[in-house]
Protein backbone atom coordinates (compact mmCIF):
# COMPACT_ATOMS: atom_id res chain seq x y z
CA UNK A 1 0.00 0.00 0.00
CA UNK A 2 1.36 3.40 -0.91
CA UNK A 3 1.73 6.24 1.56
CA UNK A 4 -1.14 8.35 0.13
CA UNK A 5 -3.43 5.31 0.22
CA UNK A 6 -2.51 4.57 3.84
CA UNK A 7 -3.07 8.22 4.78
CA UNK A 8 -6.53 8.07 3.22
CA UNK A 9 -7.29 4.83 5.05
CA UNK A 10 -6.25 6.44 8.35
CA UNK A 11 -8.52 9.42 7.72
CA UNK A 12 -11.43 7.07 7.01
CA UNK A 13 -10.73 5.16 10.22
CA UNK A 14 -10.61 8.40 12.19
CA UNK A 15 -13.88 9.51 10.63
CA UNK A 16 -15.57 6.25 11.66
CA UNK A 17 -14.98 6.99 15.36
CA UNK A 18 -18.24 8.40 16.70
CA UNK A 19 -17.62 8.39 20.46
CA UNK A 20 -14.54 9.17 22.47
CA UNK A 21 -13.57 10.45 25.86
CA UNK A 22 -10.18 11.57 27.11
CA UNK A 23 -8.76 10.78 30.49
CA UNK A 24 -8.27 7.91 32.87
CA UNK A 25 -10.95 5.92 34.65
CA UNK A 26 -10.12 5.11 38.28
CA UNK A 27 -11.97 2.80 40.65
CA UNK A 28 -11.77 3.71 44.30
CA UNK A 29 -13.36 2.67 47.57
CA UNK A 30 -13.98 4.52 50.79
CA UNK A 31 -13.38 1.43 52.87
CA UNK A 32 -13.71 -2.36 52.96
CA UNK A 33 -17.49 -2.28 53.44
CA UNK A 34 -18.28 0.64 51.12
CA UNK A 35 -19.06 -0.08 47.49
CA UNK A 36 -16.44 1.08 44.97
CA UNK A 37 -17.01 4.23 42.96
CA UNK A 38 -15.56 5.36 39.63
CA UNK A 39 -14.17 8.67 38.57
CA UNK A 40 -12.86 9.98 35.30
CA UNK A 41 -9.83 12.26 35.47
CA UNK A 42 -8.34 14.25 32.64
CA UNK A 43 -6.18 17.27 32.01
CA UNK A 44 -7.96 19.84 29.88
CA UNK A 45 -6.78 23.38 29.18
CA UNK A 46 -4.13 23.13 31.88
CA UNK A 47 -6.47 21.94 34.61
CA UNK A 48 -7.26 18.57 36.12
CA UNK A 49 -10.94 17.77 35.74
CA UNK A 50 -12.64 15.00 37.72
CA UNK A 51 -16.07 13.55 37.07
CA UNK A 52 -17.74 10.80 39.06
CA UNK A 53 -19.17 8.06 36.86
CA UNK A 54 -22.18 5.92 37.78
CA UNK A 55 -21.54 2.17 37.69
CA UNK A 56 -23.98 1.64 34.80
CA UNK A 57 -21.97 4.05 32.58
CA UNK A 58 -18.55 2.49 33.20
CA UNK A 59 -18.62 0.01 30.27
CA UNK A 60 -19.61 2.68 27.72
CA UNK A 61 -16.99 5.03 29.13
CA UNK A 62 -14.27 2.38 28.83
CA UNK A 63 -15.16 1.94 25.15
CA UNK A 64 -15.05 5.72 24.60
CA UNK A 65 -11.63 5.88 26.29
CA UNK A 66 -10.38 3.06 24.05
CA UNK A 67 -11.64 4.93 20.98
CA UNK A 68 -9.75 8.03 22.09
CA UNK A 69 -6.53 5.99 22.41
CA UNK A 70 -7.19 4.54 18.95
CA UNK A 71 -7.73 8.03 17.54
CA UNK A 72 -4.46 9.24 19.08
CA UNK A 73 -2.57 6.27 17.58
CA UNK A 74 -4.08 6.91 14.15
CA UNK A 75 -3.24 10.60 14.38
CA UNK A 76 0.36 9.80 15.29
CA UNK A 77 0.67 7.37 12.38
CA UNK A 78 -0.82 9.99 10.03
CA UNK A 79 1.71 12.57 11.20
CA UNK A 80 4.60 10.11 10.84
CA UNK A 81 3.55 9.20 7.29
CA UNK A 82 3.08 12.84 6.31
CA UNK A 83 6.47 13.84 7.69
CA UNK A 84 8.14 10.95 5.85
CA UNK A 85 6.34 11.88 2.63
CA UNK A 86 7.33 15.55 3.02
CA UNK A 87 10.96 14.64 3.57
CA UNK A 88 10.93 12.34 0.56
CA UNK A 89 9.45 15.07 -1.64
CA UNK A 90 11.99 17.58 -0.37
CA UNK A 91 14.83 15.16 -1.10
CA UNK A 92 13.48 14.50 -4.60
CA UNK A 93 13.18 18.23 -5.31
CA UNK A 94 16.68 18.85 -4.02
CA UNK A 95 18.08 16.13 -6.29
CA UNK A 96 16.21 17.57 -9.27
CA UNK A 97 17.62 21.02 -8.59
CA UNK A 98 21.15 19.70 -8.21
CA UNK A 99 20.93 17.96 -11.61
CA UNK A 100 20.32 21.19 -13.48
CA UNK A 101 23.24 22.10 -15.65
CA UNK A 102 25.83 24.13 -13.90
CA UNK A 103 28.14 26.41 -15.81
CA UNK A 104 31.49 24.80 -16.45
CA UNK A 105 33.89 26.75 -14.31
CA UNK A 106 37.02 25.27 -15.88
CA UNK A 107 36.03 26.26 -19.40
CA UNK A 108 38.21 28.93 -20.96
CA UNK A 109 36.56 31.92 -22.55
CA UNK A 110 36.56 32.02 -26.35
CA UNK A 111 39.09 34.40 -27.85
CA UNK A 112 37.50 37.38 -29.51
Residue 65 lies in a domain: yes
- For the beta carbon of residue 51, count every other beta carbon within 10 angstroms: 13
Model-level pTM?
0.75
SS3 53: strand
For residue 105, tell me if it sits in a domain: no
User: Do the domain assignments include residue 111?
Assistant: no
Would you state the pLDDT for residue 101?
57
Count of domains for the chain:
1
- What is the C-alpha R_g of the chain? 28
99 SS3 class: helix
- pLDDT tens digits, one per residue of 4-47: 899 999 999 999 999 999 999 999 988 888 888 999 999 999 99
Full domain range(s) for residue 18: 3-29+36-88
Q: What pLDDT, on the 0 to 100 scale, is given for residue 92?
A: 80
pLDDT for 112 = 66
**CA 7 from centroid of its chain's CA atoms:** 12
pLDDT tens, 60-104?
Answer: 999 999 999 999 999 999 999 999 999 988 888 787 777 665 666
Is residue 103 in a domain?
no
Amino acid sequence: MTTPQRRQEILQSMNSITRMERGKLCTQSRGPTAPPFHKLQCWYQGKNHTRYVPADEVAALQEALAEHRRFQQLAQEFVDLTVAMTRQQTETERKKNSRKSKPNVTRRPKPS
